């Protein structure tokens, strides 16, 4: 009996630390996977980042809404930093960001141009009359082809264009107060200062 | 009478439905070979609104616009690659349902194969180790051998009684 006890003891010492490591493995695995999943909570996979960042705006020339000149063309977007806002009268979410656009216009923070996307002109004019018109220029993109050139896949979307006519920032979805403070206004300031824009 | 009413009603509904769409229904190309090519391309392009569908399947307005756009590019003489390049230039690689193979996507493409190979190697190594490891049972002493034989005899005797 005592013989067997002595024989069994020797392998156990090196096996102990090995068993400890194996026992900790699920915990470590949990930690690693948990960290990745936690990061995943803040991802937005449905948002498609723009491939037009730092590229010149696509060439286009859109007519104005009837009775509301001027229209919007790519040549108009050179010379100053501006915000191009894709909107439509049928777009409900556009109403959510609209007060922010009106405030930007009233405080003269940045010139705003509208891209009226796949809309009936009469409906668009009625919408602007009813809710307010924050735009300098509005281009009527009835077929949505100019929108496709800008990589638009939903409404509303907004782009910040620098003085050289390059797209430097894209906002997917309605502009929020937080998005304005944290992303768009700093981008506008950087673009105006000629500094690289992080967006 | 009822049939005329139904006919007028469906005609009315149909015209309303057509008017309601600012894009209009799909307009297939006249050349059937070109249209077949267009449909083949549609199936390889992602609808960016309903992102798990191709533009061939999706009902979204943008999908319809992109279908027409593909038809126009084909009619203008673009090759398949040129059509894809046109859309990728605007929407990025995500518009292609099949991700291209480049440095960024190499993990995506090679990952499963690499895991399979690593797993297979792991299994082979583990099985080899299993065979090579000697059984760590020390031989029995004389006392233990005698005890073992007694126990086996008793066990056999038990079995004989039970049957």
ipTM: 0.81
* Residue A7 reports pLDDT greater than 70: no
Contacts 24+ apart (CB under 8 A), B137-144: B138/A4, B138/A7, B141/A3
* Residue B24 reports pLDDT greater than 60: yes
Least confident among A3-12, A170-179, B17-26: A3-12
User: What is the secondary structure of A66-78 as a DSSP string?
Assistant: TTB---EEGGGGS
Give A81's contacts (C-beta < 8 A, 6+ positions apart): A110, A160, A161, A162, A163, A188, A191, A192
Distance from CA of A103 to the nearest CA of B (A): 30
Contact B38, B17 (CB under 8 A): no
Contact B53, B44 (CB under 8 A): no
Mean pLDDT confidence for A22-33: 93
Continuous H helices in chain A:
2-40, 93-106, 121-131, 145-149, 177-179, 185-193
Straight-line distance from the first to the last Cα atom of chain A, in angstroms, rounded to the nearest whole number: 75
**Chain B CA closest to residue A143:** B23
* Residue B159 reports pLDDT greater than 60: yes
**Chain A residues inside the 8 Å CB shell of B88:** 51
> CB-CB: which of A48, A118, A120 is closest to B61?
A118
- Report pTM: 0.75
Interface test with B, best of A148, A157, A167, A170 (most B CBs within 10 A): A148
Contact A161, A168 (CB under 8 A): yes
Q: Are strands A61-62 and A157-161 parallel, antiparallel or unpaired?
A: unpaired
The answer for B 9-68 residues in CB contact with A (under 8 A) is: 22-23, 48-49, 51, 61-62, 65-66
* Interatomic CA distance for residues A107 and A177, integer angstroms: 15
CB atoms closer than 10 angstroms to residue B71: 22
Instruction: Provide φ and ψ at B63, rounded to 5°.
Output: -60, -40
Q: Which residue has the tokens 């493409």?
A: B109
| Residues A183/A185/A188/A194 CA torsion (nearest 10 deg) | -80
Contact A84, A161 (CB under 8 A): yes
Output the pLDDT for position A9: 52
> CB-CB: which of A7, A48, A119 is closest to B94?
A48
Give the 3-state secondary structure of residue B55: coil
* Interatomic CA distance for residues A47 and B110, integer angstroms: 25
Percent of chain A with pLDDT over 70: 93
* Residue A12 reports pLDDT greater than 60: no
Confidence category of residue B141, pLDDT binned at 50, 70, 90: confident
Residues paired with A65 in a beta bridge: A68
Confidence category of residue B108, pLDDT binned at 50, 70, 90: confident
Confidence category of residue B21, pLDDT binned at 50, 70, 90: very low
Chain A residues in contact with chain B using a Cβ-Cβ cutoff of 8 Å: 3-4, 7, 11, 46, 48-52, 118-120, 142-145, 148-151, 153-154
Least confident among A167-171, B65-69, B126-130: B126-130
Mean pLDDT confidence for A7-32: 79
State whether residue B96 sits within 8 Å of chain A by CB: no
Q: If you ran DSSP here, which 8-state letter would residue A180 be given? A: I
């Amino acid at each position: 009996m005592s013989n067997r006890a002595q024989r069994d003891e020797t392998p156990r010492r090196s096996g102990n630390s090995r068993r400890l490591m194996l026992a900790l493995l699920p915990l470590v695995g949990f930690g690693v996977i948990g960290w990745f999943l936690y990061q995943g909570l803040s991802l937005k996979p449905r948002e498609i980042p723009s491939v037009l960042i730092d590229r010149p705006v696509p060439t286009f020339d859109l007519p104005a809404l009837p009775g509301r000149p001027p229209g919007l063309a790519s040549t108009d977007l050179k010379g100053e930093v501006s915000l191009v806002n894709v909107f439509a009268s049928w777009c409900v979410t556009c109403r959510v960001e609209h007060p922010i656009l009106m405030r930007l216009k009233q405080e003269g923070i940045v010139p705003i141009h509208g891209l009226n996307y796949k809309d009936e002109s009469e409906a668009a004019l009625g919408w602007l009359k009813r809710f307010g018109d924050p735009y300098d220029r509005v281009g009527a993109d009835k077929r949505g082809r100019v929108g496709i050139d800008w990589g638009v896949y939903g409404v509303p979307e907004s782009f910040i264009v620098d003085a050289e006519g390059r797209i430097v920032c894209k906002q997917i979805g309605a502009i929020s107060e937080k998005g304005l403070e944290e992303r768009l206004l700093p981008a506008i300031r950087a673009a105006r200062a000629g500094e690289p824009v992080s967006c | 009478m009822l049939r005329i009413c139904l006919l007028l009603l469906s005609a009315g509904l149909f015209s309303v439905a057509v008017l309601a769409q600012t894009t209009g229904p799909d307009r297939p190309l006249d050349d059937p070979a070109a249209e077949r090519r267009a449909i083949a391309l549609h199936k390889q392009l992602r609808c960016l609104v309903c992102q798990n569908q191709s533009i061939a399947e999706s009902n979204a307005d943008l999908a319809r616009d992109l279908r027409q756009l593909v038809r126009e590019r084909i009619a203008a003489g673009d090759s398949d690659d040129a059509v894809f390049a046109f859309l990728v230039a605007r929407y990025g690689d995500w518009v292609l349902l099949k991700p291209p193979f480049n440095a960024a996507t190499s993990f995506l493409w090679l990952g499963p194969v690499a895991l399979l190979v690593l797993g297979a190697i792991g299994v082979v190594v583990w099985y080899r180790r299993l065979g090579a490891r000697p059984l760590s049972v020390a031989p029995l002493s004389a006392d233990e051998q005698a005890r073992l034989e007694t126990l086996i005899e008793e066990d056999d005797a038990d079995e004989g009684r039970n049957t």
